[in-house]
Structure 1
């Protein structure tokens, strides 16, 4: 089968392998897909802005006009040399998969076909066609794991001649990894912020990394989980007053309760205490939040987490039906949950 495992993709993209003129780069990490597509184009030696050598097509356009890809692939270059057909936004378009299957059986000479796609099911449609072909290669792109994030951090630090403290690196890794291009953008931002110094510290990361509102969201949710009504009302009102979305706060609360419920379930089934549950959490909990999460686990059971999630989901629906009252609706629900945590702490 013509596919690379996630950890083999980097080595494949170090040199151009002409035995695979059709390359599918796919996965949920759109930033990584885009970055690796750029690298493949660099390997071909073709200029992206050369309209005679690089033909850009859209997956939906091929679905509407299936013959277009085949026509372009079999067109002879006006000036000779290699050509690249660059297909973007591919998903589950059946017509695209059918055309690629035909081209893979008899690839046109001196023509590369690069396809960028989202997350594709194993063995189905376009991905299945490419994986079963001897002249095509499938390259998966999944969000960076801890090792991948460390490598990207080291690469950027070397480029800017900076060092980083262990605590700052830990905080960085907690904040990065969802999208490769976003990760690089955040790292570049913090490296520029620290320009002129030798080392990046925790405060630098807190000042710069990620969306400022995201940090505030964590503060809001943490206050709610342990029942600190004063901190909750102060941070919630502050974030709303600067124009942040109340729906984003609500979404963050749902995610945190889901994670808390999973940890609590492990405690109730396995008999572990809160400290052990936090220590064994995957992905790891950032060191600065460990004590707080331990406290939250002592105040919320699996059942009460489930009730909280039901209430939050109901609030999503109510706030969307009454958009003009979304903020007070969301605030009321979250204050009620904060009060519940406070009562549990007094028992």
Structure 2
């Protein structure tokens, strides 16, 4: 099939197949989609600022079937070939029909590049590309840990800067929601630290805004600390930004399992919640320690066991009924947040209780 996995996209863009005449770059991370589309456009060797060589079209203007076909099959006047660059694609039926026709009879002197949002599996545009042998579909999702590290290294090295380990950990916690936003924050940080040699934690705190406040970990911390309103806000934003509800459910289950281990250190070894968190392996990221300590004070082993069962049940239900996954996830997590809020006072009075 004419598609790449998310982790294969960078490698393909470094050496794109010259026989591919249509490239679809899509995904929820619009900044990353835009950045990779520009990289592919540059790889064509065409002057991308030359209007005779590169034709830019908004997908909203391709409302009639045949318009993209007409543009792609126009004979170039001042070059051997042209690039037709479509932006803002989505569920336009006319565009999908034209793409199907183009890949069936590829033009010999034109390359088509399409930027699209988050296309679900089975979407007409995505399916038309994935079934073709002369097209390629490239998904773009929010940067994972390795992607964020690479972006940090690339941007700071270009400015002659290194970064301390703790500063890198904090920076990674603040980046990753959107590629363009992250790059902008890194460029701002590099300018702030110009001439200093190494970026410190203080530099990161002073310069970088929290451009990824919608993280699953933040929402889970809000649930387990009983901050109901904050959870509702973070969950709503997570879903609105295209994040899958399952991500927060699975993160919540992992955190509950971690709390069970920490609770054993409190109950069995007589450690305080702070000491248990400080000695955790792998270590708890320093920016989250206070939230984890608070959750550990609220939840005893019996409550954690019941929470794990509730989360496992919710995960199963969302897999069986994906159409209502958002509602099921919100209901399960909200119930846990309410339980944590009610347990707050009693857990603090009896920290070591089981």
The question of whether the paired residues in 2 share the 8 Å contact of 1:260 and 1:297 is answered with no
> 1:7-86 residue pairs with structure 2 within 5 A?
7-62=7-62, 64-86=63-85
CA distance, structure 1, for counterparts of residue 137 and residue 211 of structure 2: 37
Q: What is the Cα deviation at residue 36 of structure 1? A: 0.7
CA deviation profile, 1:17-73 (whole Å, cap 9, x unmatched): 3200101111111111100111111112223332222222222332x2121101111
**Pairwise CA distance, 1:312:** 10
Q: 1:311 to 1:266 in 2, by over 3 A?
A: closer
Asked if 1 retains the 8 angstrom alpha-carbon contact of 2:57 and 2:85, the reply is yes
**Structure 2 equivalent of residue 115 of structure 1:** 114
Structure 2 residue 257 is the aligned partner of structure 1 residue 266: yes
Structure 1 residues 178-189: aligned runs within 5 Å: 178-189=177-188
Tell me by how many angstroms 1:267 deviates: 6.1
Q: CA deviation at 1:121?
A: 2.1
SS of the residue 1:139 aligns to: strand
* CA distances 1:143-186 after superposition (whole Å, capped 9, x unpaired): 11111111111111210111111100111111111111111111
| Change in CA separation of 1:346 and 1:148 when aligned onto 2, cut-off 3 Å | same
1:249–1:296 Cα change, 3 Å: closer
- Counterpart of 1:102 in structure 2 is 101
Distance 1:12 1:185, change over 3 A: same
CA separation in 2, counterparts of 1:249 and 1:72? 48
Q: Does the aligned pair in 2 maintain the 1:222–1:292 contact within 8 Å?
A: yes
SS in 1 for 2:233: helix
Over 3 Å counting, the alpha-carbon distance change for 1:120 and 1:312 in structure 2 is closer
Report the count of equivalent residues.
Answer: 302
What's the CA shift for 1:285? Answer: 5.2
Q: How does 1:297-336 map to 2 (within 5 A)?
A: 297-300=296-299, 301=303
The residue aligned with 1:162 is 161
Contact 1:22–1:137 under 8 Å retained in 2: yes
Aligned pair 1:344/2:337, yes or no? no
Following superposition of structure 1 onto structure 2, how do residues 225-236 of structure 1 map, counting pairs within 5 Å?
A: none
1:76–1:212 distance in 2 versus 1, CA, 3 Å: closer
Q: Does 1:209 align with 2:200?
A: no
Q: Equivalent residue of 1:115, what SS?
A: strand
Output the TM-score relative to the length of structure 1: 0.72
Kindly report which structure 2 residues correspond to 1:194-205, keeping only aligned pairs within 5 A, or say none: 194-205=193-204
Q: Residues 123-148 of structure 1: CA distance to partner in whole angstroms, max 9, x if unpaired? A: 44211211111110111111111111
CA distance in 2, matches of 1:143, 1:213: 10
Question: Matched residues in 1 for 2:42 and 2:221: separation?
Answer: 46
Q: 1:198 to 1:182 in 2, by over 3 A?
A: same
Task: Provide the C-alpha distance between the structure 2 equivalents of 1:222 and 1:5, rounded to a whole number of angstroms.
Answer: 31
Tell me, which stretches of 5 or more residues in structure 2 are unaligned? Answer: 239-247, 266-275, 311-329
Return the alpha-carbon distance in structure 2 between the equivalents of residues 346 and 126 of structure 1.
58
Q: Could you say if the C-alpha distance between residues 197 and 26 of structure 1 is closer, same or farther in structure 2, counting changes exceeding 3 Å?
A: same
Q: TM-score, normalised by structure 2?
A: 0.71
Superposed CA RMSD: 4.0
Query: What's the CA shift for 1:340?
Result: 6.0
2:273 aligns with none
Alpha-carbon distance change, 262 to 311 in structure 1, aligned in 2, over 3 angstroms: closer
2-structure distance, mates of 1:275, 1:165: 34
Indicate the residue corresponding to 1:321 in structure 2: none
Task: Give 3-state SS (helix, strand or coil) of 1:138's partner.
Answer: strand
Structure 1 contact 152–184 (Cα < 8 Å) conserved? yes
SS state at 1:114 partner: strand
Distance in structure 2 (CA, Å) of the matches to 1:222 and 1:16: 42
